[in-house]
Structure 1
Amino acid sequence: MGIVVKSVAPLLAVGALLAGCATAPPQSNHAAYEAYEQQNDPLKPFNKVSYHFDNKLDTYVLKPIALGYIDVTTPGIRAHVADFMSNTDAPAQLLEFMAAGKPRDAGTTLVRFLVNSTVGIGGLFDPAGALGYHRVYTDLGLTLAGYGVPEGPYLYLPFAGPSDLRDATGIPASIVLTPTFPAPPSTGLTIFNYGSDALSVVNTRAQLHGTISNIRKTSLDPYATFRSLYRQHRAALLKEINKRDVATPPAWYSAAQRKAMRHEEYDASN
Structure 2
Amino acid sequence: MSNAKGQDKRVWRGVLVLAIAGVLAGCASGGTQQERHPDDPWEGFNRKMFAFNDVLDRYALKPVARAYRFVTPDPVETGVGNVFSNLGEPRTALNSLLQGKPRNASVATARFLINSTVGVGGLWDVASRLEVTGRKEDFGQTLGAWGWEESRYLVLPLFGPSTVRDAGGQPVDIYSYPTTYIEDDGTRLGLTALRLVDTRAGILDQEALIQGDRYSFVRDAWLQQRRFEVSDGELGDDPFASDEFNFDDGDFDDAFAD
- TM-score calculated relative to the size of structure 2: 0.73
Matched residue, 1:93: 92
Matched residue, 2:142: 143
Deviations 1:23-50 (A, max 9, x none): xxxxxxxxx7xx42x4411112221111
Answer whether contact 1:91 1:177 (CA < 8 A) is retained. Answer: yes
1:195 aligns with 2:196: no
- 2:213 counterpart letter in structure 1: D
Matched residue, 1:15: none
Matched residue, 2:110: 111
Q: Post-superposition shift, 1:99?
A: 0.3
Report which structure shows greater RCO (CA 8 Å, sep ≥6): 2
Answer whether contact 1:2 1:158 (CA < 8 A) is retained. Answer: no
Higher mean C-alpha deviation, range 140-149 or range 154-163 = 140-149
Structure 1 residue ranges without an equivalent (≥5): 4-31, 244-270
Matched residue, 1:71: 70
Matched residue, 2:214: 222
Matched residue, 1:173: 172
1:212 aligns with 2:207: yes
Higher mean C-alpha deviation, range 234-243 or range 64-73 = 234-243
Deviations 1:82-116 (A, max 9, x none): 11111112112211000001111101000011111
- 1:147 counterpart letter in structure 2: W
Structure 1 residues 169 and 225: CA distance shift in structure 2, 3 A: same
Structure 1 residues 182 and 197: CA distance shift in structure 2, 3 A: closer
Deviations 1:48-85 (A, max 9, x none): 11110110111111111111111112443322211111
Answer whether contact 2:104 2:134 (CA < 8 A) is retained. Answer: no
Structure 1 residues 144 and 2: CA distance shift in structure 2, 3 A: closer
Answer whether contact 2:91 2:137 (CA < 8 A) is retained. Answer: no
Q: Distance in 1 between matches of 2:71 and 2:179?
A: 29
What is the total number of aligned residue pairs between the two structures?
A: 205
Q: Distance in 1 between matches of 2:80 and 2:221?
A: 24
How many percent identity over aligned positions? 36
Deviations 1:215-265 (A, max 9, x none): 2xxx2211111111211221232344669xxxxxxxxxxxxxxxxxxxxxx
- Equivalent position SS for 2:88: helix
Give the alignment's Cα RMSD to 1 decimal: 2.2
Answer whether contact 2:19 2:222 (CA < 8 A) is retained. Answer: no
Structure 2 residue ranges without an equivalent (≥5): 1-17, 21-33, 236-258
Q: Post-superposition shift, 1:144?
A: 1.3
Higher mean C-alpha deviation, range 54-63 or range 70-79 = 70-79
Answer whether contact 1:2 1:58 (CA < 8 A) is retained. Answer: no
